[in-house]
């Protein structure tokens, strides 16, 4: 029997007045997973996690955290779910130690603040005021505050936004350590590299709807239509001839480096190489890759938002493929 998911969201809908922030979101998170919620600005990511934390009441749909309704069981959900604070929520003059002690006092069974600060490399800064901390230190403090209640679930929203590459990498190490403590992590992020590196699964949200779920590799592959082929050709090849092949979804090139870039599914690699050979063209330095999550993000979410109904113009060729990777009930695209 499948273990009960730590987080269950079914057909969540939430509007602010006439603005529908979340149209229809369903997702599940199992114990010990790191799941990424990805999507462009305004997609409804923060609203979704705020409904999970009990900070906002859904208009409809079902939200459960360890089987509890965050609206009906606010206090108990607060004990098990640690939500990273936005930095503006802390007063400038509070010290790191004071903030930790204050937040620890909210919980029945808090973690040891000093131990947590040591874990997050903040012991030296315990006496520093919040406005004296660097961006990376503020982020680490916000993570420490999310963990001080000893939560089973940590919800981290835009954890590494504004950090330099080194601080971002340090923070990734930190998330891995959080998982090693047995904490389930829900990570809201704009960074595909971050999701690829950390997440067991991702949920791609656009215009308030789930448009793809799966492992980062599955979502990337589904969105790229399967495979991504790059090669140099011994003679010029009209890309429209390659696009005429049934397994090819797109063909571009040659780029300034002389490379062609062809995407497609199924037997696309063979089909392209046979088509080239039949013209007496040899392919050189052939590389076959799955797509990246970055490609998936752009392919699945790029559309003219002005006046577009939610999810309306996600490319139809990729949308059905994306939903085949779904580990949850995918919303209609």
Which of 43-51, 130-138, 192-200, 295-303 is the region at the interface with ligand ATP (rule: CB under 6 A)? 43-51
Can you tell me the distance from the alpha carbon of 58 to that of 53, in angstroms, rounded to the nearest whole number? 11
Nearest to 288 by CA among 206, 203, 231: 231
Can you tell me the distance from the alpha carbon of 2 to that of 5, in angstroms, rounded to the nearest whole number? 8
Can you tell me the distance from the alpha carbon of 186 to that of 196, in angstroms, rounded to the nearest whole number? 14
Any bridge partners for residue 259, and if so which? 232
Q: Which of 44, 82, 151, 214 binds ligand ATP (CB under 6 A)?
A: 44
Say how many Å lie between the first and final Cα of the chain, rounded: 30
Q: Could you tell me if 185 and 156 are in contact, meaning their C-beta atoms sit under 8 angstroms apart?
A: yes
Can you tell me the distance from the alpha carbon of 193 to that of 239, in angstroms, rounded to the nearest whole number? 30
CB of 87 or CB of 243, closer to ligand ATP: 87
Q: Which of 9, 21, 175, 202 binds ligand ATP (CB under 6 A)?
A: 21
Nearest to 145 by CA among 188, 98, 182: 98
Which of 27-35, 37-45, 291-299, 322-330 is the region at the interface with ligand ATP (rule: CB under 6 A)? 37-45
Can you tell me the distance from the alpha carbon of 80 to that of 136, in angstroms, rounded to the nearest whole number? 26
Minimum separation from the CB atom of position 138 to ligand ATP (A) = 18
Report if residue 61 touches ligand ATP, rule: CB under 6 A.
no
Helix (H) or strand (E) holding 26: strand 19-29
Which of 27-35, 41-49, 123-131, 277-285 is the region at the interface with ligand ATP (rule: CB under 6 A)? 41-49
Minimum separation from the CB atom of position 39 to ligand ATP (A) = 5
Q: Which of 1, 3, 18, 41 binds ligand ATP (CB under 6 A)?
A: 41
CB of 202 or CB of 242, closer to ligand ATP: 202
Can you tell me the distance from the alpha carbon of 81 to that of 73, in angstroms, rounded to the nearest whole number? 12
Any bridge partners for residue 184, and if so which? 153
Size of interface with ligand ATP, in residues (CB under 6 A): 11
Minimum separation from the CB atom of position 86 to ligand ATP (A) = 10
Minimum separation from the CB atom of position 12 to ligand ATP (A) = 11
Nearest to 39 by CA among 188, 223, 252, 153: 188
Report if residue 209 touches ligand ATP, rule: CB under 6 A.
no
Report if residue 45 touches ligand ATP, rule: CB under 6 A.
yes
Q: Which of 5, 36, 39, 54 binds ligand ATP (CB under 6 A)?
A: 39
Q: Could you tell me if 12 and 52 are in contact, meaning their C-beta atoms sit under 8 angstroms apart?
A: no
Which of 16-24, 71-79, 137-145, 303-311 is the region at the interface with ligand ATP (rule: CB under 6 A)? 16-24
Q: Could you tell me if 29 and 7 are in contact, meaning their C-beta atoms sit under 8 angstroms apart?
A: yes
Report if residue 160 touches ligand ATP, rule: CB under 6 A.
no
Q: Which of 16, 161, 241, 244 binds ligand ATP (CB under 6 A)?
A: 16
CB of 16 or CB of 106, closer to ligand ATP: 16
Give the residues lining the site for ligand ATP (CB under 6 A): 16, 19, 21, 39, 41-47
């Amino acid at each position: 029997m499948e273990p009960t998911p730590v987080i269950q969201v079914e057909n969540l809908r939430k509007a602010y007045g006439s603005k529908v922030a979340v149209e229809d979101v369903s997702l599940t998170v199992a114990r010990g997973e790191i799941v990424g919620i990805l999507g462009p600005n305004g997609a409804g990511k923060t609203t979704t996690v705020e409904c999970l934390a009990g900070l906002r009441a859904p208009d409809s749909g079902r939200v459960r955290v360890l089987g509890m309704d965050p609206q009906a069981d606010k206090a108990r959900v607060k004990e098990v779910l640690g939500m990273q604070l936005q930095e503006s929520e802390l007063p400038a003059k509070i010290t790191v130690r004071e903030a930790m002690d204050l937040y620890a006092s909210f919980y029945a069974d808090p973690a040891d603040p000093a131990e947590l600060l040591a874990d997050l490399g903040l012991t030296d800064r315990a006496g520093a005021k919040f406005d004296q901390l660097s961006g990376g230190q503020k982020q680490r403090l916000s993570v420490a505050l999310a963990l001080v209640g000893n939560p089973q679930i940590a919800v981290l929203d835009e954890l590494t936004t504004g950090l330099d590459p080194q601080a971002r990498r340090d923070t990734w190490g930190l998330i891995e350590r959080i998982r090693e403590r047995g904490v389930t992590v829900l990570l809201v992020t704009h960074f595909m590299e971050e999701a690829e590196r950390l997440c067991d699964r991702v949920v791609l949200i656009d215009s308030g709807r789930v448009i793809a779920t799966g492992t980062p590799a599955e979502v990337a592959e589904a969105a790229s239509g399967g495979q991504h082929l790059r090669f140099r050709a011994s003679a010029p090849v009209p890309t429209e001839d390659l696009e005429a092949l049934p397994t090819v979804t797109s063909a571009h090139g040659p780029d300034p480096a002389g490379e062609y870039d062809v995407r497609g599914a199924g037997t696309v690699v063979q089909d392209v190489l046979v088509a080239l050979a039949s013209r007496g063209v040899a392919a050189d330095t052939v590389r076959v890759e799955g797509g990246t999550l970055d490609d998936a993000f752009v392919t699945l979410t790029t559309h003219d938002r002005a006046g577009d109904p939610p999810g309306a113009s996600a490319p139809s060729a990729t949308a059905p493929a994306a939903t085949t990777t779904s580990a949850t009930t995918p919303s209609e695209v």
